Structure 1
Amino acid sequence: MSEPSEWQRRIEGEWHGRPSLFDPTGAWQGFEDIRRSSVFEDGVVTYSMDGGLEGGGPLAGRFKVGAPFAFGVTDAGADRHYTGPDFYGSGRPYGSFVDARYYGPGWQVGLNTWNQTIGDTQVYSSLLFQGPAVAGCFNGLYTRDPAQVGDWLRAETANGPVPYILPTKAAGAYAGACELFGADGKPRGGVQITVELEPIDLLRTRHHVTWTGDLERRHVVDVRRDGFRSFFEGPDAWGNAQAYGRASFPRLHLTDGARVEGREFMMDAAPGMGAGTAMAVVYEVFDGNLLSAVLYGVLTWSSS
């Protein structure tokens, strides 16, 4: 490999963040102060992470380690293979988003990491698994702009524990342009996503979801919130979601047999009685049981 891949070029530099740690139920536990970078040198990519866990509650013993992480990456432009010693597995880039699945011997967990790069910002989450069971979740926003680091980390400290919530009284819509990729990682165009909200009461909202462009879908679903959990209760889709702080992870089964697994991250959520206005979304679409498409972007709120 004589040149870095497109994904490697997108993520060059040192990234700073303070992702929050959540237990399997969605309860906030603490912070992980992290500086991370992946460096291409002499045809080899080396990924490093340095920092430390603050707090952690009953998870502290598992997720506190005594040395920085480092691991090799084989990066030929398609799947990135993580070759240890601190992480083993692979990740597939889809433009400026990567879906990575790997194992960390130090934490003794499997990880499913979704990292969406938006300029100098990364929207990051790692679901942590013991076999098929979720053992916890890290998520947060990273920056590589040195001028922003101080204010960024203070904002992440305040906002990291804030629960994901949508507007409960105001009708309106989240809408935005998303990039569309095939399961092979190749671009397939764009999709305009609109999620119109019709509040029913403080815990229930009817969603009118419309995708137009190079992948077209429409469905209406009633969504009921119960703490960190949400339930999608027809008529056109059924499923549930689990939130860890600002990020909610829905799994929807549509009545035509398609399945959508996603992450909805409220980027500007802050303490107080309100919902955010900028939501970074990633959706993986399955036709039957086969991955067929990946789309992602940022949806912004406007009231009606």
Structure 2
Amino acid sequence: MSNDNKPSNWQQAIEGEWHGLPSLFEADGTHVGYNKVSRASEFEDGRTTYWMNTRFDATGPLNDRFEIGAPFKFGVIDSDQDRIYTGPDFFGSGRPYGLLVDSNYFSPGWNVNLRTMNHVVPELGMQVYSSQLFEGDTLVGVFNGLYTVTTDHGENPQTQKLVTEFLERERLEGKRPFNLPVKHAGTFSGRFEVYDDQQNFVGYNDVTIHHKPINLLHSEQTIEISGVVNEKWTAMRTRNGNHHQYHGPDMFGNGMSYGRYLYSVRHVYGKAFKLWSRETQVDDNYTFVCAWQFMQSQKEKYTTFGVLRWEEGDLKLGANYVD
């Protein structure tokens, strides 16, 4: 529990019952189904209990692996430094940064180690969730999807209707592939909160990404950051299915997308500095909810997160003609 026997800031930020329909992907990115979830983290009498009801609708062996036939209910030692999961369903911990928590924990029933990232985005009215599922260092699957929150779902028919409509949209959107604007140049821009390696809020980064398509599978992007971090990097990006690469000259790396979510690692040329990112396309207007972690000398330096909004520019790949 928190030191003053009160709920942590993160615990207060996630009050209510959350509803989602995360998609389930195999390790290669194949979409195989959904998991209908309702969940809540409840603080009462100085203790925190997390419960979660799940119902999988998937194909293949992952459905049998994850549908264990019982609801989840486990203890949490709650604090703003660490949230420690004490079983029986999950063992491990989460690390809060304002409205984002980055967790690493083990599920005996699923036999997976999870890296779970939950990001509450009040301006969009959603929580952006993902879990990468590992056996040791080997990825075996991915869950991801958006959640909405309620406080009266059990007794309010209108709330129930809104949740049902939200889940229906998630069923349609969950398997849509991550894409960048293919034919138009333009800019992504937004402001990210920045936390240091001690989880202290230290300010903001203003982020602008200048995007220019080269052809249908290649683009050039320049990332400009000012604020706590002051950097500028240009790289050519390529995409082959759900496989992404960054070809320099300033950043080199790769990533894989699982539906609307792209997970990447980019190394800065000539420096012991890299960027781990989870970027989520949440609508058809190329609005991206991003979590970026900067690593220096293989250690966490900053955790940053925010929303990037797209402003369309010139058409670069119009129709071709032969006269």
| 1:292 pairs with 2:301 | yes
Paired with 1:118 and 1:21, the residues of 2 have a C-alpha distance of 22
1:239 corresponds to which residue? Answer: 253
Deviations 1:20-66 (Å, cap 9, x if unpaired)?
A: 00000111010000000000011111001102100132311211111
Unaligned runs of 5+ in 2: 154-158, 314-323
Paired with 2:246 and 2:73, the residues of 1 have a C-alpha distance of 40
Paired with 1:111 and 1:198, the residues of 2 have a C-alpha distance of 35
- Matched to 1:268, the amino acid is D
Paired with 1:277 and 1:260, the residues of 2 have a C-alpha distance of 21
- Post-superposition offset of 1:150: 1.7
Does the CA-based 8 Å contact 1:21-1:56 persist in structure 2?
A: no
- Post-superposition offset of 1:257: 2.2
2:54 corresponds to which residue? Answer: 51
Deviations 1:51-87 (Å, cap 9, x if unpaired)?
A: 2100132311211111011111001221110000000
Paired with 2:286 and 2:182, the residues of 1 have a C-alpha distance of 13
Of 17, 20, 35, 1:17 maps to: 20
Paired with 1:166 and 1:70, the residues of 2 have a C-alpha distance of 39
Q: Report matched runs for 1:1-304 at 5 Å.
A: 1=2, 2-119=5-122, 120-145=125-150, 147=159, 148-255=162-269, 256-269=271-284, 276-304=285-313
Deviations 1:85-133 (Å, cap 9, x if unpaired)?
A: 0000001000000100000011100000011001241000000001101
Give the count of matched residue pairs: 298
Counting aligned pairs with the same residue, the percent is 39
Poorly superposed stretches of 4+, deviation over 2 Å? 145-148
Paired with 2:308 and 2:60, the residues of 1 have a C-alpha distance of 34
**2:182 is paired with a residue of what secondary structure?**
coil
- Matched to 2:266, the amino acid is L
Q: CA RMSD in A?
A: 1.0
Does the CA-based 8 Å contact 1:30-1:57 persist in structure 2?
A: no
- Matched to 1:243, the amino acid is S
- Post-superposition offset of 1:174: 1.1
**TM-score if structure 1 supplies the norm length?**
0.96
Paired with 2:54 and 2:251, the residues of 1 have a C-alpha distance of 41
Unaligned runs of 5+ in 1: 270-275
